[in-house]
Amino acid sequence: MRAGKGDLPYPVRMNGIELLLVVIAAIGVTAFAQRRGLQAPLVLVVLGLAVSFIPGLPRLEIEPEIILGVVLPPLLYSTAVEFSFINFMRNLWPILGLGIGLVLITAFAVGLVANRLTPQLTAPAALVLGAVVAPSDAVTAVAIGRRLGLPKRVMTILTGESLINDAAALTLFTIAAVQVTGQGAFISQPVVFFGYGVVVGLIVGRVLALIVQKLQQRLDSPGLETVLGLVLPFSCYLAAEQLHASGVIAVVTAGFAIGHNRARSGYAARIQETQVWRSLDVLLEAFVFAYMGMQMKFVFQEVTGAGHSLPRVLVAALVSLLVVLAVRPACVLVNHLRLVGTDRLRQAGQRRRPDRDAERQQRREAIMRRRIDEYNRQHPDHPRDIPSGGPERQPSLLPLKHDIVISWTGMRGVVTLAAAAGIPATAALGAPFPGRAEIQLIAFVIAVGTLLIQGTTLPPLIRKLDIRSEDDAAYEAEQRKHAAEITQKATTEVITKAMTKIDNYRTGDSGDLDPEALAALSQQLQRFQANREALQAETEEAERADADQQRADRWRAVSRIRLEMLTAQRKALTAERDAFRLDDDTYREMLEQLDYDEAAISARMDSRL
């Protein structure tokens, strides 16, 4: 941290205790807002702005590199870890359209308007502003949608967009900031530089994620596994930035890789990491919104201190806000009309050439069948019924009601404010970054304006359109039933092996159990085949009983078999998910449930020992 500039009225350094108080206050305000059903980001920003006008309050100013390198990586990584990569691929084209195409259109539109209305903003500096305000934040929209029952596919598109648009906007932000600061880009051609940043970022994220996965599999300490997971996003970001690539893309790639292969790590590490990331998200988001609110008084002073008209900058901010509010609905609805026209042309072509289309379909099915047969010959235990090339992508065309909702979910959030705070203080030859205070002020107005306008009107819009997700409920029920059948089958296989062990005892091979414990175990397993809860009740009864040697042997044997059941269930669910026959969200829910079951059993075993 560093103190305010010399032209600020309170050039006093805020110490660590005061910073800690800000963090604690931000968490308390977040808890209060959530309990009252208010938008925590908006409340934090407004209160931060009010607090900044307290006389004698020092300016809390953090180095831009810290904001971008410490705050953003964990926020992006935690979202990517919890997001389904399979569902991302199934909705790839809508996500890319919103996450890249819409970001570029918004950035250039806002940059053009700001450049015309604010003379002190050069074209590259105006593009920096456009990149800062281009990415939307899905946190508020997804929270509202989950509460009101938005369809699962809409939620998937919004979450996927928030990851892609963050990467695209911050990469564009880096390119534009390099042009302003005159530091010299690694590659002078912006398009090639963008492509280089994306490709190298993907490679860095995947390689580091693979290394962390290998290390976690060899560790027998949940604490060390969790620490590795915490270090990963920062390592990805810093390594990619050192290679002049996109640190954001590296972080998102690593998050996808770790999240898709979470079953390979230990159950305790998965439980710990989930809770740690959720807590860290709340902490960082609360701090960023409070921090940006507390900056506004000093940003106002910087604008006026530089001789610029504050009303004129506010007018430019309001016009930019209107541009942001208008561009997204226009792009989404125009794209919807385009897809409707394309779909009608395709249907008309099918009616004119039914024989040719039928022949093409037959060829595709034949290729599909050959791939399936080849895979099933190599993997007879886990046959597939769809091509091994990956999940089938869903059509890009959404119902009009869904697109209307998506078009109005453009609230700006923590990434916009963090990027605004992360703008370099100096440009070429040590000169001040042109229009830095104006960019921060406009970004602040846009973030607050979208949260206030779209955040408050989105719930009534969803209710008015009467968007329901009965199909999602039926699909999820079907998937849960399928998952239950998979786990039951895996459980039966484990029980069969245990019963085989009992039969071996009768032939003279008793293993590590005495006869009475083995006979009792046989009875329990037979009851468990009809009712899983019977084994749970029997285990708890054994825990309450006198700890004689026979009961202790039986209890340990039952616990070991239950752990074998959980391992078999986890492997079966993973194989079914990888074969694209089980929904990834259902798979993650079941995996979390199995983790808590294993944690409970292991805790009881440790307690008895």
DSSP 323-366: HHHHHHHHHHHHHHHHHHHHHHHHHHHHHH-HHHHHHHHHHHHH
Q: What is the mean pLDDT of residues 381-393?
A: 55
The pLDDT of residue 510 is above 50: no
Q: What is the mean pLDDT of residues 475-496?
A: 86
DSSP 109-155: HHHHHHHHH-TTS-HHHHHHHHHHHS---HHHHHHHHHHHT--HHHH
Contact present, 396 and 98 (Cβ < 8 Å): no
Q: Which range scores top for mean pLDDT: 189-193, 370-374, 525-529?
A: 189-193
Mean model confidence pLDDT for the chain? 82
Give the tokens for residue 247. Answer: 């640190």
Classify residue 67 by its DSSP letter: I
Instruction: Let me know how long the chain is.
Output: 609
Task: Specify the range with the lowest mean pLDDT, choosing from 148-162, 204-218, 386-400.
Answer: 386-400
- Non-local (6+) Cβ contacts of 343 within 8 A are 397
Give the tokens for residue 333. Answer: 């609805």
Which residue, among 439, 546, 381, 487, has the nearest Cα to 173 in the 3D structure?
439
Rg (CA), the chain: 28
Task: Specify the range with the lowest mean pLDDT, choosing from 351-355, 374-378, 468-472.
Answer: 351-355
User: How far is Cα 318 from Cα 322, in angstroms, rounded to an integer?
Assistant: 6
Q: What is the mean pLDDT of residues 519-543?
A: 55
Q: Choose between 313 and 295: higher pLDDT.
A: 313
Confidence band, pLDDT 50/70/90 cuts, at residue 520:
low
**pLDDT the model gives residue 7:** 40
CATH class for domain 16-335+395-468?
mainly alpha
**pLDDT the model gives residue 572:** 93
Sign of CA dihedral 125, 126, 129, 131: negative
**pLDDT the model gives residue 495:** 76
Sign of CA dihedral 199, 205, 206, 211: positive
Q: Choose between 516 and 565: higher pLDDT.
A: 565
**pLDDT the model gives residue 278:** 87
- Non-local (6+) Cβ contacts of 305 within 8 A are 7
Confidence band, pLDDT 50/70/90 cuts, at residue 428:
low
- Residue 545 region by backbone torsions, left for phi larger than 0, else alpha for psi between -120 and 50, else beta: beta
The pLDDT of residue 342 is above 70: yes
Q: What is the mean pLDDT of residues 214-235?
A: 91
Task: Specify the range with the lowest mean pLDDT, choosing from 268-277, 519-528, 573-582.
Answer: 519-528
Contact present, 400 and 416 (Cβ < 8 Å): no
**pLDDT the model gives residue 10:** 39
User: How far is Cα 436 from Cα 172, in angstroms, rounded to an integer?
Assistant: 17
* Domain range list for the chain: 16-335+395-468, 473-608
**pLDDT the model gives residue 488:** 85
Q: What is the mean pLDDT of residues 514-530?
A: 55
Give the number of other CB atoms < 10 A from CB of residue 32.
12
User: How far is Cα 487 from Cα 266, in angstroms, rounded to an integer?
Assistant: 19
Residue 5: which H helix or E strand, with range? none
Buried b (16+ CB within 10 A) or exposed e, 334-346: ebbeebeeeeeee
